[in-house]
Chain A
């Protein structure tokens, strides 16, 4: 539902899209150059890099242990001595919690996306290329899962399985898999019908070379763009599940969970509780900007 594409069933890949017979590296170089020219995308990319680095190097960057705190210092304001971003309700340093929380949130959000992308693409491409019964089975199952609003499906699965990072990864993977399958299948079907593919087939080429040289290059790009639009939703959902108590459990640091526990303190110190949400917002925004930029650079208008 948070996809920025106008159609929820498939991005309409117009035939005016740059068609390639084989995959010349110069296309991607072209994309790269276009990306580099857009200042907004560059800025977003830089920010993403900063976020990624801070998540990876959290143990080195964090001034304190994210799970220890002194309750004497609880709910210190932003700018308090020794705690530039304040402390939470247990007296733990917010900066450290945010850094480590980033790792957790990003892990919980990106893993399902990667899983869904890999398996979803495979399933969708297979379904699109082979058609027939296999296609019907895969697509009908996807349709059923797609029938649930994303958050509801995530809650249903996590609610049934129980809290915990593992269960969150499972439920979010199940949420995103059908979406990617649908896109992959639709794009594959469209590309398959294009002239150059039938020409290749007529020329006697076997299925595997066709897939590899003709199909994949044209299909991966839209799939990737679509996937990139889902990342921000995944972040919001992953943090949202923890916010409801269905994701990561205390005392782990995770942005959604922090938002939940700090929420009870808004009458005491209003702005410290806003910080984890700000983090989610910023990262989500960065991914949206990047996916927009990617889509523009690949000249895929939807």
Chain B
């Protein structure tokens, strides 16, 4: 009698344990990234948005986060570590943020206003002992509007902006909160912090082999029960070469790769892999240098834009994993507006424009030297695409030479601008850019106040008309009015052609059939907490 009761109890416990384990166990997700190294784990990740995607937003969190749970609409800001925020009615320069309570960092210390102030100073205040030079070079340029932050009480802070602007919250999407306690614990050294990272995110770093892998496990103390990860372990592997990623996916070495080689998409589908694509606010083009020949001539810039066979690139080179881009924004987005120039593939028109600019009949404009990368976040297939573009340009009388460098190197040099000794000979950069919010999309590139080193207007694009529209858009807190103004701005930009617009990527990813639950949002970022890996 006793034995059978114990026996039943044992069986019940076993069953509970087994099923409990089965539910909790979500497997290991191994991702092959296009980055050539592990993104910086000290908080403000490098390697562009891919760094933020897999390291930044997984280990850390900003005050305002992205809602990347839906695939049918553009991702929008949502409360992250801040529960609410609002501009002060009596002083439009001050924003009050109410912080979330009960959140702890991976090292156990609480998240509060001190952490916010510490983080802000680490990326803005150069003379602070806790200034993070690496992190600041990644995040500093994204927060050009923020002047200072003040602690009001443990869970309230006030940000002061340099001018009244409705764009302020958008900038806080990109600053990850770091732990002052951890910084002190590791010896007040950001290098050591990167080796023992501590954030508030759903994943925490467990093992870090530079250049090879970053292993993360679930943060069991994560504050948001709705976003508790379903997998046990996340492994990130840098694989800058498309063929390597493809080989790794096919052989089962990884479960998910970013940017599969477009040619391999059809065979991958045939072999049972999932291919996920979708529009997102991405732009791939060449940012031009406007204070030096040849691109100081607007006619030549327009000519370049009419010379590119975008449909050819998308259909033939990229197997329909992109759509032609004829502006900063893609058609269908509220900010597209109604531009006059349509930039369809028209080499004859391009040649005519070149001639109109005073060249042709043996006289060619000076050669442009552009810096490109060999891979990278959102960079698609830079070498193959650029070869084609070179050819398109050559056919209409424009000469472009490319200098490939590694992605992070490109980003570093880009942020320094054209007027450094190293970059002095360049006329353009081929950088994939994002437009998820007005600040990122327009303000940091096209406003005359955003020149280096304040922000990233490297060209520099100095147009009072654009400035005026941007200022107006910034002043209004009415979203519809803002959209209308930004549409007008876009029309001006398309006409001025400070970039050679080329394509918008469709963010292809390939994953094994075992990966379930992933929702591809219209964003550069992803939510990995919904993903599970079946056996």
Measured CB to CB, the residues of A under 8 A from B are: 67-68, 71-72, 74-75, 89-91, 245, 249-251, 261, 263-268
Q: Which of A89, A267, A268 interacts with B384 by CB under 8 Å?
A: A89
Chain B neighbourhood of A72, CB < 8 A = 312, 316
Residue contact A90 to B264, C-beta cutoff 8 Å: no
Known: A250-B387, A250-B402, A267-B243. A74 touches B261 (CB 8 A): no
Chain B neighbourhood of A74, CB < 8 A = 316-317
Considering only CB atoms and an 8 Å cut-off, how many residues of chain B contact the other chain? 23
Q: Closest CB of chain B to A201's CB: distance in Å?
A: 58
Query: When chains A and B are docked, how far (Å) is the Cα of A145 from the Cα of B305?
Result: 50
- 18 example contacts (A-B, Cβ-Cβ < 8 A) are as follows A71-B313, A71-B316, A71-B388, A75-B263, A90-B384, A90-B387, A91-B316, A245-B404, A249-B402, A250-B387, A250-B402, A264-B242, A264-B384, A267-B243, A267-B247, A267-B261, A268-B261, A268-B267
| B383 close to A (CB within 8 Å) | yes
- Chain B residue nearest in CB terms to A265: B263
Q: Which of A71, A75, A250, A267 interacts with B383 by CB under 8 Å?
A: A250
Residue contact A267 to B390, C-beta cutoff 8 Å: no
Query: When chains A and B are docked, how far (Å) is the Cα of A245 from the Cα of B375?
Result: 14
Q: Which of A67, A71, A266 interacts with B243 by CB under 8 Å?
A: A266
Q: Which of A251, A266, A268 interacts with B387 by CB under 8 Å?
A: A251
Chain B neighbourhood of A264, CB < 8 A = 241-243, 261, 384
| B391 close to A (CB within 8 Å) | yes
Q: Closest CB of chain B to A242's CB: distance in Å?
A: 13
Query: When chains A and B are docked, how far (Å) is the Cα of A68 from the Cα of B390?
Result: 11
Residue contact A261 to B391, C-beta cutoff 8 Å: no
Query: When chains A and B are docked, how far (Å) is the Cα of A265 from the Cα of B319?
Result: 14
| B459 close to A (CB within 8 Å) | no
Chain B neighbourhood of A75, CB < 8 A = 263
| Beta-carbon contacts under 8 Å, B258-275 to A | 261, 263-264, 267
Residue contact A71 to B317, C-beta cutoff 8 Å: yes
Chain A neighbourhood of B312, CB < 8 A = 71-72
- Chain B residue nearest in CB terms to A264: B243
Query: When chains A and B are docked, how far (Å) is the Cα of A266 from the Cα of B313?
Result: 20
Q: Point out which of A67, A72, A251 has the most chain B C-beta atoms below 10 A from its C-beta.
A: A251
Chain B neighbourhood of A267, CB < 8 A = 243, 246-247, 250, 261, 263-264, 267
Query: When chains A and B are docked, how far (Å) is the Cα of A250 from the Cα of B391?
Result: 11
* Main secondary structure on B side of the interface with A: helix
Residue contact B264 to A268, C-beta cutoff 8 Å: yes
Chain A neighbourhood of B246, CB < 8 A = 267
Q: Closest CB of chain A to B394's CB: distance in Å?
A: 9
Residue contact A68 to B391, C-beta cutoff 8 Å: yes
Chain B neighbourhood of A251, CB < 8 A = 387, 390-391
Query: When chains A and B are docked, how far (Å) is the Cα of A72 from the Cα of B242?
Result: 21
- Chain B residue nearest in CB terms to A69: B391
Query: When chains A and B are docked, how far (Å) is the Cα of A194 from the Cα of B402?
Result: 58
Residue contact B383 to A67, C-beta cutoff 8 Å: no
| Beta-carbon contacts under 8 Å, B446-468 to A | none
List 9 other contacts, CB 8 Å, given A90-B384, A268-B263: A67-B391, A68-B391, A74-B316, A90-B391, A245-B404, A266-B243, A267-B243, A267-B247, A267-B264
Query: When chains A and B are docked, how far (Å) is the Cα of A89 from the Cα of B246?
Result: 17
Query: When chains A and B are docked, how far (Å) is the Cα of A75 from the Cα of B384?
Result: 13
Q: Closest CB of chain B to A265's CB: distance in Å?
A: 7
Query: When chains A and B are docked, how far (Å) is the Cα of A86 from the Cα of B214?
Result: 41
Q: Closest CB of chain B to A89's CB: distance in Å?
A: 6
Query: When chains A and B are docked, how far (Å) is the Cα of A81 from the Cα of B404?
Result: 34
Q: Closest CB of chain B to A83's CB: distance in Å?
A: 16
Chain A neighbourhood of B241, CB < 8 A = 264
Query: When chains A and B are docked, how far (Å) is the Cα of A245 from the Cα of B405?
Result: 10
Query: When chains A and B are docked, how far (Å) is the Cα of A265 from the Cα of B261?
Result: 8
Q: Point out which of A67, A68, A245, A264 has the most chain B C-beta atoms below 10 A from its C-beta.
A: A264
Chain A neighbourhood of B243, CB < 8 A = 263-267
Query: When chains A and B are docked, how far (Å) is the Cα of A249 from the Cα of B404?
Result: 10
- A-B interface, 7 closest residue pairs, ranked by CB to CB distance from nearest: A71-B316, A268-B263, A264-B243, A72-B316, A267-B264, A71-B317, A251-B387
- Chain B residue nearest in CB terms to A266: B243
Query: When chains A and B are docked, how far (Å) is the Cα of A67 from the Cα of B392?
Result: 12
1/0 per position for B303-329, CB-CB distance to A under 8 A?
Answer: 000000000110011000000000000
| Beta-carbon contacts under 8 Å, B77-118 to A | none
- Chain A residue nearest in CB terms to B374: A245
Query: When chains A and B are docked, how far (Å) is the Cα of A245 from the Cα of B383?
Result: 11
Q: Closest CB of chain B to A97's CB: distance in Å?
A: 13
Chain A neighbourhood of B390, CB < 8 A = 250-251
- Chain B residue nearest in CB terms to A251: B387
- Chain A residue nearest in CB terms to B384: A89
1/0 per position for B475-500, CB-CB distance to A under 8 A?
Answer: 00000000000000000000000000
Q: Closest CB of chain B to A32's CB: distance in Å?
A: 47
Residue contact A90 to B388, C-beta cutoff 8 Å: yes
Query: When chains A and B are docked, how far (Å) is the Cα of A250 from the Cα of B400?
Result: 12
Q: Closest CB of chain B to A245's CB: distance in Å?
A: 7
Query: When chains A and B are docked, how far (Å) is the Cα of A71 from the Cα of B390?
Result: 13
Query: When chains A and B are docked, how far (Å) is the Cα of A128 from the Cα of B392?
Result: 57
Chain B neighbourhood of A268, CB < 8 A = 261, 263-264, 267
Query: When chains A and B are docked, how far (Å) is the Cα of A181 from the Cα of B244?
Result: 42
Known: A72-B316, A267-B246. A261 touches B263 (CB 8 A): no
Query: When chains A and B are docked, how far (Å) is the Cα of A87 from the Cα of B258?
Result: 27
Query: When chains A and B are docked, how far (Å) is the Cα of A72 from the Cα of B318?
Result: 11
Query: When chains A and B are docked, how far (Å) is the Cα of A68 from the Cα of B309?
Result: 14
